Homo-oligomer: A and B are copies of this chain.
Amino acid sequence: MCRWVAYAGPEIYLEDILFNQDHSIVNQSLSAHESVWTTNGDGFGVAWYTQRTTAGLFKDVLPAWNDSNLRSLAAHIRTKLFFAHVRATTGTTVSRSNCHPFIWKNWTFMHNGQIGNWNGCRKLYESHISEEFYHCREGTTDSEAIFLVALSLGLQHNPQQAIQQALSLAVDAMAKTDAHEPLRASLAVTDGKEIWAFRYSSDDRSPSLYFGAPHTRASEHFPNEFNTIASEPSDHQAEHWHKVDEGTCVHWTRERMNFYPIELGQRFV
């Protein structure tokens, strides 16, 4: 089902979060605690922001736990904001194109979950991707489709609304194609400055999601500051990890974190 982590805070090396934590995301690739799939070995990806507009992107189909490139890159790349993801496919092919995160211009997106009955509602759901973004589709996952539908709905102007509408369209598509599986989503999107994370499911059994303040080499100067949103805590110090509630959107900015209920009620199609 995938595991992911988003970091925003003082500049660190990727390895500070990806590797140098007791229960790091790379460790979770081999042995996740709070996922139906223990093993998340069907590829991985990292997107990190530098001085350029578009995030750097590194994805591969190998498991994260023994990838020599990931190990070295994580020890050399410094950044103030990055997304990382380890994948366990729910059916679609293992390929770089299906690995998260997905990027468009300065936007980055990743997801843990599924659109129910994806095979059955895919054609309908992809029809919501506008001409402008349709050619950006590189893979076949429901996740990338949610991103492209959200972009089509104005993600870059109102990310919170666009993601909610994209999820709402997914629920609609599932209903119209008699899906018997739920929609489940713990997802995150960023413009390189702020982060919006969503925990939502149609059956109130969303994938786990936390925010926290794990120690890094930068954190001595900024203790207790929340810098991480993640599928699972990356260490065992319960005091600096907090569960994101079901049906909640977390909006992280440099100044504060806000929490909003996710409302898909108002259908708009």
Contacts and interface: CB of A to CB of B under 8 A. Distances in A.
B61 A75 contact: no
Nearest to A30: B39
A203 to B, nearest CB: 23
How many monomers of this chain does the complex have? 4
Interface residues of A, number: 51
A138 B135 contact: no
A180 to B, nearest CB: 16
Interface string A37-51: 011011000001010
Contacts of A140: 97, 137-139
Nearest to A135: B119
A106 interface: no
24 contacts: A42-B66, A48-B76, A50-B76, A50-B78, A52-B75, A56-B72, A56-B76, A56-B77, A59-B68, A60-B69, A62-B94, A69-B96, A73-B73, A92-B138, A95-B95, A95-B96, A95-B97, A118-B135, A119-B135, A122-B134, A123-B131, A123-B134, A126-B126, A139-B140
